[in-house]
């Protein structure tokens, strides 16, 4: 038994077929396609073999489509049109393709910090597409593990070995209170001073357990009137005069909130940029990390005005 020959249609055969159909002449079609007439004729013959019949009627002066040729003509024209459209789209994407970056930022880090960095990054890379995801520091770590983000900005006390952390800045916790509050006259606010205050508890605070232990030790029975994960809502509640909250300084952006350092004891957290250890960074990832580190060094050296002051710190 003879094994049948496997045939396939080549794009150049379609191109030659359409040229002959357009010019009604093999010689003119060969010239238009920039190939020799014998090469074009052989290609058409192979296509006819594949289609199972003659595609052109030939005589000395004229070439025309056979009934079979007329049937397949619109299909082959559509194939070429689709191919041309695909090529144009591919070139468009190549010319105007945007660079992408996915970032995760802990909800306890002030949005003005990231906004400042992103503004500078988009100046450096105007075509940049950025995806920003939010969550707790632990959730941002999990997003990094799953590959949903490339870089995280977090305030974590314990960093797993699989993660590389670049320390950005350290900051102390403050007591946030509304304008006109008695704490405006204080230089610092101790846990003992909070004994008679209504407190709003930040459920996503990285030091929540330690702060609650200090509250219990120094105030006997702290008056927790609200508990929330929504940092924006907490600031609105504080500004409205409902109570006070213990916050990292960089988080506060509400101009109607005043701040005083928390003392006796004080608490400090470290904010870091995290990436997966052992993974080579793309150019845009390196740019963003370098911006983070440069800003941190400038702040720590005191060479620029502190980026992270709350708008209504009152200090």
| Interatomic CA distance for residues 22 and 204, integer angstroms | 71
pLDDT for the residue 7: 59
With beta carbons less than 8 A apart as the criterion, state whether 188 and 261 touch.
yes
- The string of pLDDT tens digits covering residues 178-204 is 999 999 999 999 999 998 899 999 999
DSSP per position, 197-251: SEEEEETT-TTHHHHHHHHHHHHSS-EEEEEES-HHHHHHHHHTTS-BEEEEGGG
Domains and CATH numbers, the chain: 11-95 (1.10.10.10), 100-301 (3.40.190.290)
Residues 59-109: pLDDT tens digits?
A: 767 889 999 999 999 999 998 888 888 887 777 665 555 678 899 999 998
- In the structure, what pLDDT confidence band is assigned to residue 9 with cuts at 50, 70 and 90? confident
Closest to 108 measured CA to CA, from 239, 294, 275, 272: 272
- In tens, the pLDDT along 126-145 reads 778 889 999 999 999 999 99
In the prediction, which pLDDT does 314 show? 32
C-beta separation of 225 from 199 below 8 A: yes
pLDDT at 306: 37
């Amino acid at each position: 038994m003879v094994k049948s020959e496997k045939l396939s249609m080549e794009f150049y055969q379609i191109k030659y077929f359409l040229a002959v159909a357009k010019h009604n002449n093999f010689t003119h079609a060969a010239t238009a396609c920039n190939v020799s007439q014998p090469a074009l004729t052989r290609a058409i013959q192979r296509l006819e073999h594949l289609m199972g019949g003659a595609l052109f009627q030939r005589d000395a002066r004229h070439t025309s489509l056979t009934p079979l040729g007329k049937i397949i003509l619109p299909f082959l024209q559509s194939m070429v049109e689709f191919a041309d459209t695909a090529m144009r789209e591919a070139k468009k994407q190549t010319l105007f393709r945007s660079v992408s970056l996915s970032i995760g930022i802990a909800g306890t880090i002030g949005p003005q910090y990231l906004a400042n960095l992103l503004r500078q990054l988009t100046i450096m890379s105007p075509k940049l597409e950025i995806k920003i995801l939010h969550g707790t520091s632990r959730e941002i770590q999990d997003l990094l593990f799953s590959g949903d983000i490339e870089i995280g900005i977090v305030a974590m006390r314990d960093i797993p070995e699989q993660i590389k952390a670049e320390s950005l800045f350290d900051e102390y916790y403050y007591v946030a209170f509304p304008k006109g509050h008695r704490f405006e006259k204080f230089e610092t606010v101790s846990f003992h001073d909070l004994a008679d205050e209504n407190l709003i508890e930040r459920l996503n605070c990285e030091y929540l357990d330690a702060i609650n232990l200090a509250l219990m030790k120094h105030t006997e029975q702290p008056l927790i009137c609200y508990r929330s994960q929504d940092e924006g809502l907490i600031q609105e509640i504080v500004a409205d005069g409902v109570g006070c909250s213990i916050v990292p300084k960089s988080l506060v952006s509400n101009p109607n909130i005043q701040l005083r350092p928390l003392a006796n004891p004080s608490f400090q957290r470290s904010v870091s940029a995290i990436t997966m250890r052992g993974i080579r960074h793309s150019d845009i990832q390196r740019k963003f990390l370098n911006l983070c580190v440069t800003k941190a060094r400038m702040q720590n050296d005191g060479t620029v005005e502190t980026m992270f002051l709350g708008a209504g710190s009152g200090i």
